[in-house]
Amino acid sequence: MGLIWIGLLGAIQSTDILTTAMGRARGAVEAMPISAAVINEGGLMMFVFVKFALVLAGAAAVLLTLRWVRTERPGAVALYVFTLAAIRGSTVALALVSLHNAFLLKSL
């Protein structure tokens, strides 16, 4: 289940990268301050690197907590559930942001 959500997060991150690149090509300005700072300092390639590093960090967290669940560490199930909920929440929130970006692109 966790890997499905990581895959979805990766796909949504790709959509966000694509809509950001398309918007910037049409003269739009990145509204997210952290994303704007990353793009201003390192360009779009740094933005892509950071986005996929976040996906890899989420995958590592899910896999590590799943490993702890399998070795029956105390509290591991709760930590796995929390980690998966964080990945799910991030994925849904980013999907909404990407949808908003797509609507903004339509108006440019």
Domain ranges of the chain: 2-107
Residues 34-46, mean pLDDT to the nearest whole number: 95
Residues 73-77, mean pLDDT to the nearest whole number: 95
Q: pTM (2 decimals)?
A: 0.88
pLDDT for 19 equals: 93
Q: How far apart are CA 108 and CA 105, in angstroms?
A: 5
> What band does 15 get if pLDDT is binned at 50, 70 and 90?
very high
- Do the Cβ atoms of 98 and 16 come closer than 8 Å? yes
Q: Is the pLDDT of residue 9 over 90?
A: yes
pLDDT for 18 equals: 94
Q: Is the pLDDT of residue 75 over 90?
A: yes
pLDDT for 108 equals: 78
64-86 burial, b for 16+ CB within 10 Å, e for fewer?
Answer: ebbebbeeeeeebeebbeebbee
Q: How large a percentage of the chain has pLDDT more than 90?
A: 83
- Dig out the tokens for 103 from the structure: 């609507």
Residues 77-88, mean pLDDT to the nearest whole number: 96
Amino acid at 60: A
